[in-house]
Structure 1
Amino acid sequence: MLIDRSTPGGLRADYFAQHGWAHGRLRLPAEGHDWKQFAASWDELVPDAYLGQERCRRNRRFGRVLAHRDGTLEPLHGTEFFQSKEINRAFGDQLRVFEPLTETVLASNHFPRILRETVDLVNEVAGKQDWELGIHFIRVFADADRGSEPAPEGRHSDGHAYVAIHLIDRHQCVGGRNQVFRNNESQAQYSVTMTEPLETLILSDTAMEHDVSEIRPDELSESGWRDTMIVDFNTVPDPAGVAGRTHSSLQ
């Protein structure tokens, strides 16, 4: 198993194509007023109403974007999200409807830039095509009396073609180590604790499984959190048939 202990470099499409996963950092700045405004969007997430008794406390919002092969990013109406029980042991076979991404997010400079760089990387590996993107903004909390599981379903795949996990921020917490497994293999291919904004783990969701360890407050704090932006890639046979078309574009 590879364990990353170095400063992440750029994401490499050739490595991604060969191994089914890649780890690195997006080539975008994570500083300045625009970045601070974008990262502050995680303060506006709302409690996940579907957690029940799961060992996790998290806030989230969800959005959908149609990434056209010509580079246009079309926001879509509708925030329904469904996974089968075979895919998601914890939350499968129920239609989850999340609060949408805010207008501030859709109008931000960083949101489309993150999506475009991620789409470009996937298109280098899969070939240029249309994608329906599911975009999850998630904040997982860790409290003094217990840790929190960012992925209560455990080791899993998500039922998509590709998945990208972008770290946005960590605040007064430890843990949150991502592991990547090849399907049906017990030994992890890779393990990393992402610490830098826009550090990214991207994987083929059909070839790989992944999990992430619990987070806990650091020794000087009573609470902490970990913010991520997760992008699901779903193939689109015909863009005209995608639900929620707005025929608009992100700038």
Structure 2
Amino acid sequence: MPGQDSVLIEESIPGRLRADHFAQHGWAHGRLSVPTEGSDWEQFASAWDELVPDPYLGEERCRRNRRFGRVLAHRDGALEPLRGSDFFQSKEINRAFGGRLRVFEPLTDAVLTGPCLPRLLRETVAVVNEAAGKQDWELGIHFIRVIADPGESSEPAPEGRHSDGHAYVAIHLIDRHQCAGGRNQLFRNNESRAQFSVVMTEPLETLIVSDTTMEHSVSEIRPEAGTGSGWRDTMIVDFNRVPVPEEVTGRTYGFIR
């Protein structure tokens, strides 16, 4: 196991996402096994074209479209969509946007019931459960497109280096379109040197992070030279422990197949 002050070398070709690496280091980098070709994937990825402008950016140097949804992932593998698309972080957790309730446009029913999202969620939950122990999770699912216009750059994470106030966070790359930048870095809490650094380029290239022991950042994106606007599409999944599923708000008692 590398020392806590070492920097792990960037992986150019991501392999399988490994739960043992996640359990040992507090993070893992790899790819999910969901196919990223064919009509099912194309329909899923096209959902990022239907995102709406984030109304909470204010003066931040970021142009971002998004939607948000919630799912209760039961320990038996069932996925239950939850009503409500409100999202709150404290000011201590998110210095840029914390301290206020944000309500985003919800994920569409077509996305929730389509073939790709349930499989993505189940594979991600399986990795976390293998490392952390099988349990019930409330998942916060963020579809995000960060856009950089010609001559400008855009910050995917205006809050800078941060943790998000969850147990675990999974960052899935969906697509990149004629953009440069977007380097993810992972840090142990209170340490200055990055443990890992990568520019994710492959669809479903993924980082899973222990949000209680690690912090993460992502650098600005900018359009590639000689192109128009560029963008970077990601799906971020927040994991929050659920001691009592009956007390989770917004339960629908319906299940995604």
TM-score (normalised: structure 2): 0.97
Paired amino acid for 1:58? R
Structure 1 residue runs of 4 or more that deviate by more than 4 Å after TM superposition:
none
Alignment of 1:5-44 (within 5 A): 5-44=11-50
Match of 1:130 among 136, 139, 146: 136
Separation of aligned partners in 1, 2:75 and 2:146 = 33
Query: Does 2:17 correspond to 1:2?
Result: no
Change (3 A) 1:131 1:5: closer
Gaps of 5+ in 2: 1-6
Calculate percent identity across the aligned residue pairs: 76
Count, aligned residues: 251
Separation of aligned partners in 1, 2:186 and 2:21 = 14
Separation of aligned partners in 2, 1:49 and 1:6 = 35
Separation of aligned partners in 2, 1:83 and 1:148 = 22
Paired residue for 2:118? Answer: 112
Match of 2:66 among 49, 60, 63: 60
Alignment of 1:70-109 (within 5 A): 70-109=76-115
Query: Does 2:150 correspond to 1:139?
Result: no
Paired amino acid for 2:121? L
Paired residue for 1:174? Answer: 180
Match of 2:218 among 206, 212, 215: 212
Separation of aligned partners in 1, 2:27 and 2:187 = 10
Query: Does 2:248 correspond to 1:242?
Result: yes
Paired amino acid for 1:118? T
Separation of aligned partners in 1, 2:243 and 2:109 = 28
Paired residue for 2:3? Answer: none
Deviation at 1:5, TM superposition (A): 4.0
Deviation at 1:83, TM superposition (A): 0.3
Aligned-residue CA RMSD (Å): 0.6
Separation of aligned partners in 2, 1:220 and 1:144 = 9
Separation of aligned partners in 1, 2:243 and 2:11 = 40
Query: Does 2:159 correspond to 1:153?
Result: yes
Q: Deviations over 1:178-220 (max 9, x none)?
A: 0000000000000000000000001000000000000000012
Paired amino acid for 2:44? F
TM-score (normalised: structure 1): 0.99
Query: Does 2:231 correspond to 1:225?
Result: yes
SS at match of 1:2: coil
Separation of aligned partners in 1, 2:31 and 2:50 = 25
Separation of aligned partners in 2, 1:53 and 1:211 = 20
Q: Deviations over 1:132-162 (max 9, x none)?
A: 0000000000111210000000000000000
Alignment of 1:177-216 (within 5 A): 177-216=183-222
* The 10-residue stretch of structure 1 (217-226 or 52-61) with the greater mean CA deviation from structure 2: 217-226
Deviation at 1:3, TM superposition (A): 3.3
Deviation at 1:28, TM superposition (A): 1.2
Deviation at 1:103, TM superposition (A): 1.2
Query: Does 2:169 correspond to 1:163?
Result: yes
Paired amino acid for 1:210? H
